[in-house]
């Protein structure tokens, strides 16, 4: 519980290498995650080579933690291995569709979260990289992923060289619903976001961005409609190219 409740994203790492035995135990914990039908339709690609980390860093918008962390883990939705096994056993697979892509993506994310928790329990720090799906086509080429393999998320892993404050979270009553979904009225939305909007960091961000509120920062600066549409289209092309869009 302490490990879970004290999670924080680490973006600065010491140069200390991770013991191979510890890394293997962390990866083994990842592979114990729940998966659909126990198919384990995901793969984890480890990048430790300094030059390759520098190259990989370019595809993550130049975030320096990619080349500074001793280990970079790319989690991929992967039906390639499972499909080959099926064919070897004279069982024709039918996993070249969007549902199978979602299944494999969920498997990959479940494994990633197990890895994250296991790593933090060993005193390591982690940070997820959302840029993985933004630049999936480039990462696929760099990691030489075959058809049926799509990068879903990336975790940088190493010993922390910083101790940031815990990131704020919405209150439980803003997230939890009992028995059925209870929609939000204006009053409840105001209440849920009140604490987040009153934080000194929020006020600082509003001032720096010269906007009126935090919501405007999200939609006008961080995750704009234009970017969402562009990255959506490119990612749809990726999953089609990797044979996950045969929905007939």
Cα–Cα distance between 101 and 152 in angstroms, integer?
10
Cα–Cα distance between 72 and 47 in angstroms, integer?
5
Cα–Cα distance between 213 and 194 in angstroms, integer?
12
- 3-state SS of 17-39 is CCCHHHHHHHHHHHCCCCCHHHC
Residue 244 pLDDT level (bands cut at 50, 70, 90): very high
Cα–Cα distance between 149 and 152 in angstroms, integer?
9
User: What 8-state DSSP symbol labels residue 175?
Assistant: T
Residue 241 pLDDT level (bands cut at 50, 70, 90): very high
Q: Are 115 and 74 within 8 A, CB to CB?
A: no
**Domain spanning 2-163: CATH 3.40.50.1470:** no
Which residues on adjacent β-strands are paired with residue 73? 46, 155
Q: Are 101 and 244 within 8 A, CB to CB?
A: yes
Q: What is the pLDDT of residues 123-160, one digit of tens each?
A: 999 999 999 999 999 999 999 999 999 999 999 999 99
CA distances from residue 219 to 66, 167, 210, 224, 233 in whole angstroms, order as listed: 26, 20, 14, 5, 19
Q: What is the pLDDT of residue 246?
A: 87
What predicted TM-score, i.e. pTM, was given to this entire model?
A: 0.95
Q: What is the pLDDT of residue 248?
A: 77
Say what percent of the chain tops pLDDT 70.
100
Instruction: Please state, as a whole number, how many other Cβ atoms lie within 10 Å of the Cβ of residue 130.
Output: 11
pLDDT higher than threshold 80 for residue 120: yes
């Amino acid at each position: 519980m302490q490990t879970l409740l004290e999670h924080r994203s680490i973006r600065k790492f010491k140069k200390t290498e991770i013991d191979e035995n510890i890394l293997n135990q962390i990866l083994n914990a990842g592979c114990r995650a729940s998966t659909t039908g126990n198919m384990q339709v995901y793969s984890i690609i480890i990048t430790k080579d300094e030059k390759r980390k520098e190259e990989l860093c370019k595809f993550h918008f130049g975030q320096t933690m990619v080349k500074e962390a001793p280990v970079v883990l790319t989690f991929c939705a992967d039906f390639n291995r499972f499909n080959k096994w099926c064919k070897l056993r004279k069982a024709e697979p039918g996993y070249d569709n969007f549902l199978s892509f979602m299944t494999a993506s969920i498997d990959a994310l479940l494994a990633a979260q197990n890895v994250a928790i296991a790593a933090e329990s060993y005193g390591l720090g982690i940070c997820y990289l959302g840029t993985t799906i933004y630049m999936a086509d480039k990462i696929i080429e760099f990691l030489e992923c075959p058809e049926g393999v799509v990068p879903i998320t990336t975790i940088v892993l190493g010993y922390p060289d910083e101790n940031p404050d815990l990131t704020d979270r919405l209150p439980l009553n803003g997230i939890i619903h009992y028995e059925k979904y209870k929609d939000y009225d204006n009053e409840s939305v105001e209440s849920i976001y009140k604490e987040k909007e009153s934080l000194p960091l929020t006020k600082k961000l509003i001032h720096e961005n010269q906007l009126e509120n935090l919501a405007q920062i999200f939609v006008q600066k961080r995750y704009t409609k234009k970017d969402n549409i562009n990255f959506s289209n490119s990612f749809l092309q990726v999953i089609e190219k990797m044979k996950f869009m045969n929905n007939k």
